[in-house]
Amino acid sequence: MNHLKRFLSYYKPHLPIFLLDMFCASVVAAVDVAFPMITQYLLRTLLPQMQQNGALVSLFVRIVLLAFGAYVLRAVMLFIVNYWGHQLGVKIEADMRRDIFAHIQTLQFSFFDKVRTGKLLSRCTTDLFDVTELSHHGPEDVILSALTIVGAFVMMFRIEWRLALALILIMPLMLFYVMSIRVRQKMASRQVKEKMALINAGIESSISGARVAKAFTNEDYELEKFEDGNRQFIHAKDYFYRMMAFFNSGIEFFVGLYHVVVIGLGGYLIYSSSLDPVVLITFTLYVSSFLSPVKKLANFAEQYILGMAGFTRFCEIMDIEPEIKDRPDAKPLTEVKGEIEFRDVSFAYDNDKTVLSHIDLTVKPGETLALVGPSGSGKTTLCHLIPRFYEIRSGSILIDGTDIRDITLSSLRRNIGIVQQDVFLFAGTVMDNIRYGKTDATDEEVIEAAKLAHIHDEIMQFPEGYASFVGERGIMLSGGQKQRISIARLFLKNPPILILDEATSSLDTVTEAEIQRSFEELAEGRTTIVIAHRLSTVRNADEIIVLDETGIRERGTHEELLKSDGIYSGLYRITLE
């Protein structure tokens, strides 16, 4: 019930279209209910009188023309219902897609660590298609059918109460059958959507990894994985269609049963001279008017099951509360000096194995801190805690003396620039990808940032320069080019705090040296945290911290750590060999 109330709330912004749709549906229902009565009047009253009074012919013609006009109006109303009704459904779907996309943007890194992209894509696309059909046809079918059924029953009782009562007695049997099948259809529909999400996830993964599959000649293996998911989908669909077949065949049986009851009982009443054949004809027309919306309601039941299954999956994502969000009294970070302080910070992913334990360190404004150590020692994790990509388990992190949890997320991250180890470029142009660092930047500012990142000359050699398409995830570029474009983003953003997560790891020695000089220029007067495996790039850092699984093992300048002849000294000697 809560989901239904939530679903109906999406109609509020589009109330004028919804009311127009319902008004037109009501007019259609009124025409359908009125026509059999007009027919009865013509057959029982007007036509017999016309044989004795020719003056009534003009009245007959006017009534026929009126009926013609009513059906022209009905056609216009149906056009509005079909066109604007579908527009209503599309608008509601777009609102839902906007809401789920915006909500996903608020979720923390740990959510994306666990959920596959293809499954999220399915929640945003295929699941919502059925919601569109429900949002359009649902209220329209219910209101139109309810009005037609009630109107038809009222008229049938007025025409012949004995036949109407017989039809009402059959109704509970049909409702019981519909409800019993509906429960199983709902379960089957949910299984279908889950299997479809798995297929989408598999396709997304396989297409993204197509080059790896070809490199290992594992195309057949990928096809086998896809076929396995496809078989599960077919099995789920088989059960769903079986339930749908039971449902539709049962409805058709009850429709036929209504006709048999009307003909059988009506024929008996005519035989016993207690029913006029014209009345039976009129009643039969109302039965047709009654059965058409009954079929619509049956179809609505199927649409409701499919649509609410999709909406339930939509709500599952929408109900995930962001673990990381602004406190009610959070304030924006302004006039940033850049002091970063870790006070007894501990962190673990999903409360499992501790990654960082009781970390204490301070980076003074304008200083450069280098983090070195073996893979898995928590260097990248430590950096991800500063912009609150993950939430610390205990302790506190402060910027300029203010706990980052008391700072609004947008202002915190706006003042931090990150070049990550895993470079991601969007499927757009070079210009678009660099401008991502500052979306309102001019072309001149973008070009200047590219020059600082030492990528401008290479961009100008591309077929279309800055308008060149980089391909999916930047596949059209070399690793070094992708990394320098991501570095250009950082130059464009120009933040007071820099985090360089192995930012030069994909570059050759010459380019690395050039960009290192640019980084030193950019870092001047800014707080910078550098993660590097190449220890030659961190020799000029104000402080170097050596991390391993147990925490901070060594700290000091390059010269101090070499003299101590510890872990750093050993790592440095290895890099020289």
Best CATH choice for the domain 2-318 from the list 3.30.1490.20, 3.40.720.10, 1.20.1560.10, 3.40.50.2300: 1.20.1560.10
pLDDT of residue 351: 65
pLDDT of residue 102: 84
Please tell me the distance from the alpha carbon of residue 42 to that of residue 429, in angstroms, as a whole number.
72
Please tell me the distance from the alpha carbon of residue 359 to that of residue 348, in angstroms, as a whole number.
13
pLDDT of residue 191: 72
Nearest by Cα to 42 from 50, 30, 33: 50
Give the pLDDT band of residue 427 (cuts 50, 70, 90): confident
Rounded mean pLDDT, 539-564: 83
**Contact residues for 82 (Cβ-Cβ < 8 A; gap 6+):** none
pLDDT 10s digits, 313-334: 788 888 888 878 888 888 888 8
Residue 224: enclosing H or E segment and its boundaries?
helix 219-271
Rounded mean pLDDT, 255-265: 80
Q: How much is the pTM?
A: 0.65
Asked if 102 contacts 56 with a C-beta cutoff of 8 angstroms, the reply is no
Share of the chain above pLDDT 70, in %: 85
Question: Range(s) for CATH 3.40.50.300 in the chain?
Answer: 340-576
Q: Is it the case that residue 500 has pLDDT exceeding 80?
A: yes
**Contact residues for 219 (Cβ-Cβ < 8 A; gap 6+):** 213
Give the pLDDT band of residue 236 (cuts 50, 70, 90): confident
CA angle at 360 for the pair 358 and 365, rounded to the nearest 5°:
150
The DSSP code sequence of 254-294 is HHHHHHHHHHHHHHHHHHTT-S-HHHHHHHHHHHHHHHHHH
Q: Is it the case that residue 271 has pLDDT exceeding 80?
A: no
pLDDT of residue 150: 78
Question: Range(s) for CATH 1.20.1560.10 in the chain?
Answer: 2-318
Helical spans, DSSP H, in 437-537: 443-452, 456-460, 479-493, 509-523
Tokens linked to 165: 């009562």
Please tell me the distance from the alpha carbon of residue 541 to that of residue 520, in angstroms, as a whole number.
10
**Bigger pLDDT: 209 vs 82:** 82
pLDDT of residue 54: 63
E strands in 297-443: 340-348, 354-363, 368-372, 394-399, 402-403, 416-419
Q: Is it the case that residue 215 has pLDDT exceeding 70?
A: no
pLDDT 10s digits, 97-125: 888 888 888 777 777 767 766 667 777 77
Share of the chain above pLDDT 90, in %: 2
**Bigger pLDDT: 540 vs 529:** 529
Please tell me the distance from the alpha carbon of residue 241 to that of residue 227, in angstroms, as a whole number.
20
Q: Is it the case that residue 214 has pLDDT exceeding 60?
A: no
Give the pLDDT band of residue 259 (cuts 50, 70, 90): confident
Looking from the CA of 453 toward its CB, the CA atoms found within 13 Å total 30
pLDDT 10s digits, 401-414: 889 899 898 888 88
- Answer whether CATH 3.30.2320.80 is correct for domain 340-576: no
pLDDT of residue 209: 62
Nearest by Cα to 63 from 41, 78, 44: 41
Cα dihedral 134→140→141→145 (10° resolution): 160
Rounded mean pLDDT, 225-248: 75
Q: Is it the case that residue 216 has pLDDT exceeding 60?
A: no
Mean pLDDT of the chain: 79
Q: How many CB atoms lie within 10 A of CB 318?
A: 17
Tokens linked to 204: 């997304």
φ, ψ of residue 499 to 5 degrees: the values are -125, 115
Please tell me the distance from the alpha carbon of residue 210 to that of residue 513, in angstroms, as a whole number.
34
Asked if 130 contacts 306 with a C-beta cutoff of 8 angstroms, the reply is yes
φ, ψ of residue 27 to 5 degrees: the values are -65, -45
Q: Is it the case that residue 201 has pLDDT exceeding 70?
A: no
Give the pLDDT band of residue 147 (cuts 50, 70, 90): confident
pLDDT 10s digits, 39-80: 767 766 776 677 666 667 777 788 888 888 888 998 898 888
Q: Is it the case that residue 506 has pLDDT exceeding 60?
A: no
**Bigger pLDDT: 240 vs 436:** 436
Tokens linked to 231: 């078989």
